[in-house]
């Protein structure tokens, strides 16, 4: 799969100096480039930095924003073609030679690849043709330097921090101990995950979360019958997708077998059953005295593992995150939801919590990921994870109309004088709203089956109210004002404040539970609703 890439800054518009904030970031990036090049002993630093920056600005001009309509429609981007056809589109790039070297293979010119950015690749080929090779070489070296400089000495990390301070307002650097923990987590995630699971997540908790997931899936199945905008053919396809959806919870089962981790070089942990001075697997060496070399060894090993997967069947049981990750995800091309043990912890989930807090906490996140299978992006994939349009035109047209209501709602939100982009954040907003509803109705089902929960002592809130409070607390976050600018520009999630207000204000049960007057800001008469 071949796609556009090549920018160091997180969004193309930052290179174009369209407002005061982006001009500040671009100036800080230029200073950062010159500092790093000086530390590396380069000559004519200002000239080299200017040449690299100019090339990146050219790349920014031909890059399509991830939030452009073209990039949201996977079907229109997806082009399967042969290497020979790709070569004709990009004549300055020697694709066969490049792929043969990467994969240690001898590819036929009839080998098929997927191209996701046809226009970009055509233009980048022209750009390479007219750019002096010296500048291209410096640019490629710069891209490597940017990735690896965080692993070098203090002056390099100081330069990174200065750029981060300008972009995100980070005043303090991470302590060295936290940096080391972060890197160990990144490079030996599954091995550390085995220790985390043993300490913090029992098989009993795994079973309880599984039941919670099933309850929320049951509610979506019911909701499908209640949607008046969806016709029967689309409803059957949506229900089939729900039935086939794979759910992975907590951790992969092999982590409970330490001998499997010790034997698998891909999961090897420093000192796991081997001398603490040097831990060696057949393909991956780690030495406590050579930190930077360890990083390079790990990166090279990861590349070798990826290369080996060529032409192999996709492993749908593979985990993209280790168990200790505080995150969850839905993969449309696998029709798969994953909830690592790290997110199944207080305050989001605790088997001893009242169920109102569990359903309002992790329940709304489970509902969120489930709804991603039916948002403007995930809805383009069928039950098997194939890129197939399974909607009838009539139902899809009504879906888009309902989605536009959400776009308009979020377009009217502002934070630090920046307007939230309803189209950029649409998928996440659909998932937030859908997840809130599914979890709430699943909690009501639990109450019907088990009886009302006892009121909490010295607490003035009902359990229905606590459900919504738990949902709001999911998104509590402290941010510097500088980072808000970048978030609105680059993040597919709306700012946390509006993730909460946007969702609850459109749900009639919130207005009822908190006695919000009709047509008040938190209980408008006309509400947006998809799922």
3-state secondary structure of 202: coil
The three state secondary structure string of 156-178 is HHHHHHHHHHHHHCCCCCCCHHH
Q: Name the token pair of 56.
A: 């990146």
Strand partners, 250: 340
Active site residue 105: no
Q: How far apart are CA 124 and CA 117, in angstroms?
A: 10
User: For strand 285-287 and strand 329-331, is the pairing parallel, antiparallel, or unpaired?
Assistant: unpaired
Helix (H) or strand (E) holding 505: none
Q: How far apart are CA 164 and CA 22, in angstroms?
A: 14
Q: Among 137, 164, 181, which residue's Cα sits nearest to residue 29? A: 164
Q: How far apart are CA 340 and CA 327, in angstroms?
A: 7
Is residue 252 within 8 A of residue 401, CB to CB? The reply is no
DSSP 127: H
Q: How far apart are CA 206 and CA 351, in angstroms?
A: 10
Q: Name the token pair of 113.
A: 């690849």
**Alpha carbon separation from 36 to 157, 159, 161, 169, 294 (Å, rounded):** 10, 7, 12, 20, 22
Q: Among 366, 387, 487, 478, which residue's Cα sits nearest to residue 432? A: 366
- Number of Cβ atoms within 10 Å of the Cβ of 291: 13
Active site residue 369: yes
Is residue 356 within 8 A of residue 464, CB to CB? The reply is yes
What is the number of H-type helices and E-type strands within the chain? 23, 9
SS3 content of the chain, % helix, strand, coil (to 5): 60, 5, 35
CA dihedral (22, 28, 31, 35) positive or negative: negative
153 CB-near residues (< 8 Å, 6+ apart): none
Q: Name the token pair of 170.
A: 């980070």
Catalytic residue among 369, 375, 428, 464: 369
Q: How far apart are CA 67 and CA 13, in angstroms?
A: 12
Instruction: Write the DSSP assignment of 384-453 as a string of letters.
Output: TS-B---S-HHHHHHHHHHHHHHHHHHHT-EETTEE--TTTTHHHHHHHHHHHHHHHHHHHHHHHHH-PP
Catalytic residue among 51, 166, 215, 432: 432
Is residue 25 within 8 A of residue 167, CB to CB? The reply is yes
For the annotated catalytic residues, the residue numbers are 369, 432
């Amino acid at each position: 799969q071949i796609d556009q890439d090549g920018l160091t800054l997180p969004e193309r518009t930052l290179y174009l100096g369209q407002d005061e904030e982006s001009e500040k970031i671009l100036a800080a990036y230029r200073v950062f480039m010159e500092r790093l090049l000086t530390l590396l002993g380069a000559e004519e630093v200002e000239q080299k930095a200017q040449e690299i920056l100019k090339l990146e600005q050219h790349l920014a001009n031909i890059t399509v924003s991830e939030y452009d309509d073209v990039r949201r429609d996977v079907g229109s981007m997806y082009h399967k073609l042969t290497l020979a056809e790709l070569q004709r589109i990009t004549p300055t790039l020697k694709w066969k030679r490049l792929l043969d070297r990467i994969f240690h293979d001898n590819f036929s010119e009839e080998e098929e690849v997927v191209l996701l950015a046809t226009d970009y690749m055509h233009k980048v080929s022209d750009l390479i043709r007219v750019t002096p090779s010296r500048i291209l070489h410096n640019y490629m070296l710069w891209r490597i330097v940017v990735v690896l400089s965080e692993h070098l000495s203090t002056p390099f990390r100081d330069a990174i921090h200065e750029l981060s301070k300008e972009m995100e307002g980070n005043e303090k650097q991470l302590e060295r101990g936290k940096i080391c923990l972060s890197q160990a987590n990144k490079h030996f995630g599954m091995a550390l995950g085995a220790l985390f699971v043993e300490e913090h997540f029992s098989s009993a908790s795994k079973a309880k979360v599984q039941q919670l997931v099933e309850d929320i899936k049951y509610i979506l199945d019911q909701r499908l019958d209640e949607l008046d905008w969806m016709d029967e053919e689309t409803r059957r396809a949506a229900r089939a997708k729900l039935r086939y959806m794979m759910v992975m919870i907590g951790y992969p089962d092999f982590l409970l077998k330490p001998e499997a981790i010790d034997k698998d070089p891909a999961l090897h942990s420093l000192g796991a059953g081997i001398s603490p001075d040097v831990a060696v697997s057949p393909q991956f060496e780690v030495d406590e005295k050579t930190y930077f070399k360890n990083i390079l060894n790990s990166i090279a090993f990861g590349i070798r593992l990826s290369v080996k997967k060529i032409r192999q069947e996709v492993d749908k049981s593979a985990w993209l995150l280790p168990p200790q990750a505080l995150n969850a995800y839905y993969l449309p091309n696998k029709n798969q939801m994953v909830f690592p043990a790290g997110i199944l912890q207080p305050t989001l989930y605790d088997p001893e919590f009242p169920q109102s807090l569990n359903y309002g906490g992790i329940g709304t996140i489970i509902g969120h990921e489930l709804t991603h299978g039916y948002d403007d992006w995930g809805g383009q994939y069928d039950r098997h994870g194939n890129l197939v349009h399974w909607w009838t035109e009539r139902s899809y047209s009504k879906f888009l109309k309902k989605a536009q209501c959400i776009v308009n709602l979020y377009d009217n939100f502002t934070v630090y004088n920046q307007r939230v982009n309803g189209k950029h954040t649409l998928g996440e907003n659909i998932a937030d709203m859908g997840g809130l509803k599914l979890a709430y109705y699943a909690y009501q089902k639990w109450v019907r089956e088990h009886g009302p929960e006892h009121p909490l002592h010295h607490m003035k809130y009902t359990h229905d109210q606590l459900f919504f409070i738990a949902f709001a607390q999911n998104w509590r976050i402290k941010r510097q004002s500088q980072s808000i600018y970048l978030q609105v520009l680059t993040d597919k999630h709306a700012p946390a404040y509006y993730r909460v207000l946007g969702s609850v204000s459109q749900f009639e049960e919130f207005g009822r539970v908190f006695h919000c007057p009709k047509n008040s800001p938190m209980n408008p008469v006309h509400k947006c609703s998809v799922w």
